[in-house]
Structure 1
Amino acid sequence: MAYPVDTLEDDPEGYQAAALAYYELLREEAQTSTEIISLSTGEQVRLKTSSLCFCTMYRDEPQHKILVLVNPQDTKTVVAVYLKESWWSIEDVLRTSDPTREGLMKVQSFGERIVLFVLNTIVFGRLERRLGSDDMFFLPHPAKEQAKILWRDGAAVGFYSIKMKGSLCGDGTSSCYLLPVFDTVFVRRKNRCQGLGTAMLRDFCDTFQGDEALGISCPISPAMYKVLRQFLLTCPGERGRLWEVEPPGAWGQRVNIWLKVYLQEQRLQDGVDRWGTGEDTE
């Protein structure tokens, strides 16, 4: 079976135009439409415009949208995506039939951008995040955000994104990042506690071997601190390179992460844990 990431051409405008035409057709046939889609739960859902919406794919280019189907019983939960004149379940959008797609791979194609969007905005944003908790929340990535998707056994199971050195810190500012920054990271729940978080950190450090200082976006969640602690315990050579940073990452905006880990260890020895608890990202 060929999945969207393996077959989509780099034609986002064409796919969006096709989705708009399909949506208009459904709206015109609202009273007579009998099109049905089967959810992973086995539920049969009649396709109606009230269950469809266009989601913005990129933070900095709101004109680019993707058509999605939401659960009629929970309109904030996306269950399928319209691509190449077909509806695809969320799990199928994240799958690949290409055996060479394995491990951490840089996001380059339009199909991979969709996988990144689904992992970030749909899977993490709605399906696997504890809504109402203190967990981190990610906005859609910018259109040209540097990122890598983690592929495992034919499926995308995680990602991390990078703010490149010299890139703008945001809209409306001329400030640029002074160092590469490990910005957002996510691993699916069923793939956690398998060392994937530390593997992504190691890949990030290896990618920028020539840089003396590397950033981790502030604020860092308690779960991510646990991953960082484990990584720095096993990779002591990176202790002087990793800094918790606020943009653009000047020296006054950096705190050495290993120093924070060390100080926390001292507090633990004194019987005081100030990190609290958090869901394991790794």
Structure 2
Amino acid sequence: MSTVPAVVGVVGGGRMGAGIAQSFAAVGSSVTVIEGDGRAAAAALERIAGGLVRAAERLDEPCDRVLARVTAADSVDALPADADLVVEAVVEDAALKARLLAAAEAVVGERTILASNTSSLSIAELGAALTHPSRFLGMHFFNPVPASALIELVVAPATSEQTLLTATAWTHALGKQDVVVKDSPGFASSRLGVALGLEAIRMVEEGVADPQAIDDAMRLGYRHPMGPLRLTDLVGLDVRLAIADHLHATLGERFAAPRLLRDKVARGELGRKSGKGFYSWE
């Protein structure tokens, strides 16, 4: 079995950050989750506890023993100096990510690998905020993290070969498969996933078919585990829009967001997290 990182920090305790923390704790890592304040830190622990209960049948030990390896704090300064890995998992805001990564680098030791869970932002540009960009890469996890089979490893020009090899070993230690891609807008997964999702939204906008029919066409005809519109609801329409806007700015008109997507986001129809998107989640 691949070596597990003994000490892990996760900056951001939302759905993705909590899933990342849960996954590392489940394979034996000691994990510190960083949030913006005490209330958010407590909520992150509750999120992880709930995730462990849902995954109880897949765990090798009781949920409470896994949870005991997780702590939460409200400042990046609380990251362990001896961390093997720190994963940033906050919202898709390049300036915020760069600031938090630089703050984390100032706290941890020189051997710590830093990673961003960004789904589309430039790893090279984020790494420019670091003193040692050679130990930085993208580790793009997928939702829900504990059950997903993939981590997309994104390599910037400055990323060292040893950093990639170590991240690959940790990916396998989590029981997941890696795909390695060059730093490029949207990488591989988001670029293809967003293209499919945007076209599905245009089809709804044009009245080609209703969301369920479009999703069934991809699920039953192409064996996708779920259709692009249900997936958009799970990811969050606001997240999809932010990625689309980034890809539009970097790759051109083929990633221009449909008016329907902008209107839904403006109305607060963000998918499962708001109770309504292309489906009702009440």
Q: Give your verdict on TM over 0.5.
A: no
Q: Which has the higher strand share?
A: 1
TM-score (normalised: structure 1): 0.25
TM-score by length of 2: 0.25
Q: Rg: which structure is higher?
A: 1
